[in-house]
Structure 1
Amino acid sequence: MGCRRRASASELLRVVVQRSEGCQNRLVPDPQRRLSGRGAHVHHSSNCLDQAVRKRAFARALRIEGAVDVAAVRALVESESAERPTPAHEAGRDRMKTTR
């Protein structure tokens, strides 16, 4: 979502919105893909998550208005980043090498 790179569903993290009593919408990670409601997908990387937040992609994808709290998703992504190797699209390995 944030980086706009395609990936299989198993490589992406599904998130859903949980509406609270206040005006703040809270994103909840759904790694098991079982929560009801409209979902959005993001790579398991803080870079992709940051881009999605900056572009306000969650609000558009989930069709919600107002601010979005991504603290729960950020906590999961950051805890996983220590366990997962860096994806190829972040490491720059997927770019075509040119020779002259």
Structure 2
Amino acid sequence: MVLTDVGAGEPVLVVDERRRMPGRGAWLHPDQRCLELAVTRRALGRALRYTGPLGTETVARAVARHVEQQDQPQLSSTVPGMPPVPTVEKESGLEADGDPMSTHR
């Protein structure tokens, strides 16, 4: 999210999903509990270096929308009846958890 001035004079908190907006930004997990904790601790104002009141309605709507998208069942890209094709060769070191930078097995 980014604190931006839309011409009204007062800064507005905007969700920057494409991560391209200018200005100082802050990261937040798309989780309702994380948003509530950030608001309670006043972490958004500190992260954005802003001392005034922040309206978090747009952020709350974006978090709720993300949660709804995650709750919907994901469509499988495999053909029904066919076993899934592995995307990593066995013994390559990447099959442990799928993260190429991870050393955990």
Q: TM-score, normalised by structure 2?
A: 0.61
Unaligned runs of 5+ in 1: 1-14, 86-100
Residue 17 of structure 2 is aligned to residue 31 of structure 1:
yes
RMSD of aligned alpha carbons:
1.5
SS at match of 2:28: strand
User: How many equivalent residue pairs?
Assistant: 70
Q: Structure with the greater relative contact order (CA < 8 A, sep ≥ 6): 1 or 2?
A: 1
By percentage of residues, which structure has more strand? 1
Which residue of structure 2 aligns with residue 50 of structure 1? 36
Unaligned runs of 5+ in 2: 72-105
Which residue of structure 2 aligns with residue 96 of structure 1? none
Q: TM-score, normalised by structure 1?
A: 0.63
Which residue of structure 1 aligns with residue 68 of structure 2? 82
Larger Rg: 2
SS at match of 2:26: strand
The aligned amino acid for 1:34 is R
The aligned amino acid for 1:49 is L
Q: Is the 8 A contact 1:26 1:70 kept in 2?
A: no
Deviations along 1:53-98, one digit per CA (max 9) or x if unpaired, are: 110001101101110001111111101111215xxxxxxxxxxxxx
